[in-house]
């Protein structure tokens, strides 16, 4: 906590309970902008413009209209009766899986491409791991007639063949990255390198609440439509805007940030987030950043990072490509540190089981990422009167192969 801050300068001096970003771009001790000199101008331009644009009538009108007519918002808040019965409380599912392109990521891509246009940029670049953010961004670029280049680790290009073909069909250029382990971390480094070389005409769309300030705050704001809708929908269903629990999975943290945004400073609402335990937090094959991470700097932000003794970033592992990130958004690191949120590691097998459970109880096949949020349910103790809102961040079509393989008993014992 920065106690030296001048009260007249900082809107966040009521600091004891303010979990949104402060005027310096920090969440407690996390966040900031640790970037190479050559990017200062780009990031500073963005910092000076993002709030002005996001709060302008012109932007809001275009953004709201696309969310409604193109994405299909508001996404339903669905009372899952059989799941509720199983866990002895009232569980509502926020259905981001029903969005165009199948997840919450499009909310952010639309917002950032609209911003890029208003900043006079013509060329969009993005990083992608599993390809979900790449597909969302390529979709929006097709819609808005913008050039789109997506950096993707070569390993991921091979593993996520369908998403690569979708991006190409949408008109994007997919660049396979061959440095490092050839996965998301390396793709992000390459995108940053591109941005350094083309600061004038290029806008970098980051896919989660990560990266240097103002990205985490900007992405959280663009995803905050999720909690804005939950408030209205819960009022209609339950006669009150506040649930007892909010639950979501965390990779970088964007669907979780959107889910909690308008409740973050309301202590009546408990926040429970699920991170990817992989094969178990002690197995060496994990992406559980809160359980294992130490303070470090990753992709321009100060946050918890899974690293070895020498401070080298370790390769994370999760069965879910969307949660396979060695860092976590600075907002979420602070929520964990301040004990505002409970962060539970959910292992591969627990997520798989939860996905089958939701499918069989409710007829909804969730994304593997979302299945981690569901996998946190059996770890909780609810009262019958508790109202829980859990965000289903995406649909499971992309994960069917993994679900099939994992349901084979031989896979479970030998893998």
105 is an active site residue: yes
- Minimum Å gap between C-beta 404 and ligand PLP is 19
- Cβ count within 10 A of residue 6: 7
**Least distance from C-beta 289 to ligand PLP, angstroms?**
11
Which of 96, 127, 275, 357 is the catalytic position? Answer: 127
Q: Would you state the torsion angle of the CA atoms of residues 404, 406, 411, 415, taken in this order, to the nearest 10 degrees? A: 140
Say if residues 226 and 391 touch (Cβ distance below 8 Å).
yes
211: its two tokens: 């990266």
Nearer to ligand PLP, 103 or 140 (CB): 103
Please identify, using beta-carbon distances, which residue of 252 and 330 lies nearer to ligand PLP: 252
Which residue number, 89 or 148, has a Cβ lying nearer to ligand PLP?
Answer: 148
Taking the complex as a whole, the smallest distance from the CB of residue 148 to ligand PLP amounts, in Å, to 18
Interface positions with ligand PLP (CB under 6 A) = 103, 105, 132, 208, 249-256, 322-323, 367, 369-370, 393-394
Between CA 128 and CA 153 the distance in angstroms is: 8
Closest CB to ligand PLP among residues 324, 357: 324
| Strand ranges, E, within 48-95 | 77-79, 90-95
How far apart CA 95 and CA 114 sit, in angstroms, is 24
Q: Where are the alpha helices (DSSP H) in 145-260?
A: 154-159, 161-169, 184-197, 215-223, 225-238, 254-260
Residue, CB closest to ligand PLP? 394
Min separation Cβ 283 and ligand PLP, Å:
21
Query: What is the distance between the alpha carbons of residues 219 and 205, in angstroms, rounded to a whole number?
Result: 10
Residues identified as active-site: 105, 127, 393
């Amino acid at each position: 906590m920065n106690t030296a801050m001048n009260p007249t300068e900082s809107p966040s001096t009521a600091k004891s309970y303010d979990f949104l970003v402060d005027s310096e771009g920090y969440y407690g001790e996390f966040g900031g902008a640790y970037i190479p000199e050559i990017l200062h101008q780009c990031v500073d331009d963005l910092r000076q413009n993002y709030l002005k644009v996001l709060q302008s009538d012109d932007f809001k009108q275009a953004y709201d209209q696309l969310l409604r007519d193109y994405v299909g918002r508001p996404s339903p808040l669905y009372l899952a009766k059989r799941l509720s019965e199983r866990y002895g409380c009232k569980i509502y599912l926020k259905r981001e899986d029903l969005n165009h392109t199948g997840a919450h990521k499009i909310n952010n891509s639309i917002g950032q491409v609209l911003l890029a246009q208003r900043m006079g940029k013509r060329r969009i670049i993005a990083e992608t791991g599993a390809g979900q953010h790449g597909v969302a961004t390529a979709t929006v670029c097709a819609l808005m007639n913008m050039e789109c280049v997506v950096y993707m680790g070569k390993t991921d290009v091979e593993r996520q063949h369908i998403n690569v073909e979708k991006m190409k069909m949408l008109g994007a250029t997919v660049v396979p990255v061959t440095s490092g382990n050839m996965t998301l971390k390396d793709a992000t480094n390459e995108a940053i390198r591109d941005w350094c070389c083309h600061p004038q005409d290029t806008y970098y769309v980051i896919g989660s609440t990560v990266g240097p300030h103002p990205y985490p705050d900007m992405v959280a704001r663009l995803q905050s439509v999720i909690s804005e809708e939950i408030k209205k929908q819960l009022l209609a269903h339950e006669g009150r805007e506040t649930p007892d629990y909010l639950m979501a999975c965390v990779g970088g943290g964007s669907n979780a940030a959107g889910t909690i945004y308008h409740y973050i400073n309301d202590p009546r609402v408990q926040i429970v987030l699920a991170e990817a335990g992989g094969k178990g937090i002690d197995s060496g094959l994990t992406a559980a950043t809160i359980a294992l991470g130490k303070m470090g700097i990753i992709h321009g932000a100060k946050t918890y990072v899974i690293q070895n003794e020498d401070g080298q970033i370790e390769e994370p592992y999760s069965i879910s490509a969307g949660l396979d990130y060695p860092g976590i958004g600075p907002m979420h690191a602070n929520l964990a540190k301040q004990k505002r949120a409970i962060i539970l590691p959910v292992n591969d097998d627990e997520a798989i089981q939860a996905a089958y459970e939701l499918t069989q109880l409710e007829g909804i096949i969730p994304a593997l990422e979302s299945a981690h949020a569901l996998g946190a349910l059996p770890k909780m103790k609810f009262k019958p009167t508790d109202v829980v809102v859990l965000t289903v961040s995406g649909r499971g079509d992309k994960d069917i192969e993994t679900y099939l393989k994992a349901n084979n008993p031989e896979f479970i014992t030998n893998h």
